[in-house]
Amino acid sequence: MLDLANSFDLIIPELILTGAGLLLLLVAAWGGDQLSRPIAILAATALFGAGIALVPDLHFGTDGPQTLAFNGLLRVDSFALFAKAMIYLAAIGALIIAPAFFASPAAGEERGMRAEYPILIIFASVGMSIMVSASDFMALYLGLELNSLAAYVLAAILRKDDRSAEAGLKYFVLGALASGILLYGMSLLYGFTGGTDFATVRAGLEGDLAYGPLFGLIFVMAGLAFKIAAVPFHMWTPDVYEGAPTPVTAFFATAPKVAAVALTARVVFDVFGGQVLAWQQIVMFAALASIVFGALGAIGQENLKRLLAYSSINNVGFILLGLAVADQAGASAMLIYLFIYVAMSLGSFTALLMLRGDDGDLFETFGDIKGLAVTQPALAWCLLLFMFSLAGIPPLLGFYSKFVVFQATVEAGLVVFAAIAIAASVIGAFYYIKFVKVMFFDEPAELVTGKSGMAHWVLLALTALIISPLGYLLTPSLTDLADKAARSLFFTI
């Protein structure tokens, strides 16, 4: 009974979100779409409350046997808490920027936000919370599918919009394929080790790795690579990012990315920690391929959402570079990069949502933002900050995120890989600088003349401040939290 009480105490954030989601589902069923805005506010409040519940343990750090819940199905340590905090913040951002988009002509005949949108965000967040805390393949798959099912609907939430429907269908088909690959890998590991909990599987993989378990490892890594959009399992990302509603794309680029990366880190260290050489080369290949392909693939893009999709693939490569280091310093660098990346992505997509005309039409191509510095100077400068930060140009905080990853890579003796990544990051700077040329030096297109809401400006200003040189004031606290999280990831129970 005491163990059950402790388990429920550990999952208070998930209980808050589950209760809020079920309650708001009833409200939406009775009140309909006209209550979508109050439902969104309540959903954001629930996410904020769940985040507040994380603060004490996140501040002091927690690991050890007391972090295990439900007989080892979940592990709520500092690593999970750090990931959950980023997930909830990104989800709140996706709720803040949504109403203005759904009220615009871009939503077609379905003007106004649907009441289901914030509820799906909540349930996706619950799934992601389970993912980052999973200590058993059953819990892992449960959280993954809960998140995925909500994400498929979110991508296609504009039912009468062809691009949204296409994005939802592509995401569903390829996501189902990836889930099948992951499930097959988990089944192989269960068959060869006799268990589904991470500790049992890890014990069963000790010593020389036979071909059977090796195939299981490869299939699991392939399934996870799809979820984080790493090369060569990135093919869905540009189409889904372009076709999905922009607030949904902002959500996909942040919260699920955090959950998938955290889950991957949890699996490789908790399950495959005794077979580092078996997975390290897979992760290193995916990291370098993602960096290079993301940089080259974005060069010819004219659609800004599609460009940011390739930028996402590129940044995932740098995150995986920290994971490939396979030590505590690399894991800490990965988490620091992930936090800064969430701020940069959320700010970038908020800026895209503010590219609107007087009649509310939304714009998303380079041709639309020509001369933006003339018509919307504040927006142009913010967009420039985000692009330069994504490129890793000092003194913006995006430079610091790349620096800590490169530092961990070099200290681990992977100098050649760090050099390749640095060279590829220089290539990637080309398409970020294109924003400067188009916004500041081209003749004004005078299309982006509409007014944006206060919520958008507040979120844009907040994220811009975080990635500005003032953001370095946060780095001591961020580094401390990331170190605690990385340390708990390597804590053996």
CA nearest 185: which of 137, 115, 116, 126? Answer: 137
pLDDT surpassing 60 at residue 159: yes
Average pLDDT over residues 441-457: 79
Residue 442 — very low, low, confident or very high, per pLDDT cuts 50/70/90?
A: confident
**Contact between 164 and 158 (Cβ < 8 Å):** yes
Cβ-defined contacts of 406-409 (< 8 Å, 24+): 406/321, 407/333, 408/322, 408/325, 408/327, 408/329, 408/330, 408/332, 408/333, 409/321, 409/322, 409/324, 409/325, 409/330
Q: What gap in Å lies between CA 133 and CA 140, rounded to an integer?
A: 8
**Contact between 139 and 267 (Cβ < 8 Å):** no
Average pLDDT over residues 15-39: 89
Q: What gap in Å lies between CA 456 and CA 95, rounded to an integer?
A: 11
CA nearest 255: which of 147, 178, 100? Answer: 147
Average pLDDT over residues 324-348: 91
Residue 232 — very low, low, confident or very high, per pLDDT cuts 50/70/90?
A: confident
Q: What gap in Å lies between CA 420 and CA 48, rounded to an integer?
A: 40
Query: Full-prediction pTM beyond 0.85?
Result: yes
Tally of residues, the chain:
493
Average pLDDT over residues 260-272: 90
Element (H, E) at 8: helix 2-10
The predicted structure's pLDDT at residue 208: 77
The predicted structure's pLDDT at residue 106: 55
Share of the chain above pLDDT 70, in %: 96
Give the position of tokens 């430079």: 399
Q: What gap in Å lies between CA 424 and CA 418, rounded to an integer?
A: 10
pLDDT surpassing 80 at residue 446: no
CA nearest 471: which of 398, 405, 407, 402? Answer: 398
The predicted structure's pLDDT at residue 107: 54
Average pLDDT over residues 356-380: 82
Considering only 79-83, 399-403, 426-430, which range has the smallest mean pLDDT? 426-430
CA nearest 258: which of 344, 132, 348? Answer: 132
pLDDT surpassing 80 at residue 381: yes
**Contact between 386 and 398 (Cβ < 8 Å):** no
The predicted structure's pLDDT at residue 83: 92
The predicted structure's pLDDT at residue 438: 87
Share of the chain above pLDDT 90, in %: 29
Tens digits of residue pLDDT in 58-108: 767 677 778 888 888 888 888 999 999 999 999 999 999 888 777 766 555
Largest CA distance in the chain: 70
pLDDT surpassing 80 at residue 474: yes
pLDDT surpassing 60 at residue 111: no
